[in-house]
Amino acid sequence: MTALVKAGNGQGEANSPRAAAFYDLDGTLVSTNLVHSLGYFARNQQGLARSVVKSLRTLVGVPLFLAADFYSRKVFNNIFFKRYKGESKDRLRYLCEELFEEVIKPSIRPGAYELIAKSKSLGLRQVLVTGALDYTVMPLIEHLGFDDYVANRLEFVDGIATGRLLPPVMASATKASWIRVYAEREGLSLSDSYCYTDSMSDLPMLSVVGHPTAVNPDMRLRATAIRHDWPIVDLS
């Protein structure tokens, strides 16, 4: 099973690009991260008491999230997405458009629009590869004009989140594996493809393309990019 979703751009197979630009989302194209989305859902719970409790739990959990993410993205995923346990699928989907308008859209880095426009002008397929949840990125997919995307998906039982993710879980090496499979299936040249990310945790996906680029990178990725002479761009 694949988590790939075709955004649909109306291109015929004969006109399909032969290479792609793969983008991370959080910290790369937007200045927000997964915690901002969780915090938004927490603040918009039905009932004041529930909203306050959820918001406080999210706030208190931030140091733990940061420590887990520094140690291992897999550990982070196991801890972080458990916070969605008990959430209603219908309500999460209902809030997604508001989440985009109030949180995600204002956080899109100014240079992201120009970067994507330039990439499109090169005839590259635009693909988002993110550890964010699928329903939270759908409005952004349309807004930025991506062709395809892959995202994490919550497991639901009777419409209620279990706090677990469905495989494949998009993080670190899994992103790179997914890109390889995707490129082979779609007939894309990875040596002619590009990848953009801000985090050292995404080093595997940077390493599978011919044109890796560090975007507003963390210290470890910046050092790696300098060592390998990779471009470093600031989308502010």
pTM comes to: 0.84
**pLDDT > 50? residue 11:** no
Q: Which of 24, 147, 148, 202 is catalytic?
A: 24
Q: What is the CATH number of the domain that holds 227?
A: 3.40.50.1000
Residue 39 near residue 55, CB atoms below 8 Å: yes
pLDDT tens readout for residues 83-92: 889 889 998 8
Measure the CA–CA gap between 194 and 111, rounded to whole angstroms. Answer: 17
Measure the CA–CA gap between 126 and 17, rounded to whole angstroms. Answer: 9
**pLDDT > 90? residue 217:** yes
pLDDT tens readout for residues 170-201: 998 999 999 999 999 999 999 999 999 999 99
Residue 79 near residue 163, CB atoms below 8 Å: no
Q: What is the mean pLDDT of the chain?
A: 85
| Winning range, highest mean pLDDT, from 45-49, 54-58, 112-116 | 112-116
Q: What was the pLDDT predicted at 10?
A: 42
Structural domain including 140 reads 4-233
Residue 230 near residue 215, CB atoms below 8 Å: no
Burial of residue 78, with CB atoms counted within 10 A of its CB: 0-12 exposed, 13-18 middle, 19 or more buried: middle
Closest by CA position to 104, among listed 141, 73, 78: 141
Helix (H) or strand (E) run with residue 195 in it: strand 194-197
Q: What was the pLDDT predicted at 15?
A: 60
**pLDDT > 50? residue 133:** yes
CA 202 to chain centroid:
11
Better pLDDT: 113 or 37: 113
The number of domains in the chain is: 1
Q: What was the pLDDT predicted at 9?
A: 46
- Per DSSP (E only), the strands in 26-159 are 125-133, 148-157
Helix (H) or strand (E) run with residue 20 in it: strand 20-23
Q: Token digits for 49?
A: 């008491």
Q: Which of 26, 134, 147, 148 is catalytic?
A: 26
**pLDDT > 60? residue 56:** no
Closest by CA position to 20, among listed 112, 129, 113, 114: 129
Q: What was the pLDDT predicted at 66?
A: 58
Quick check: is 24 catalytic?
yes
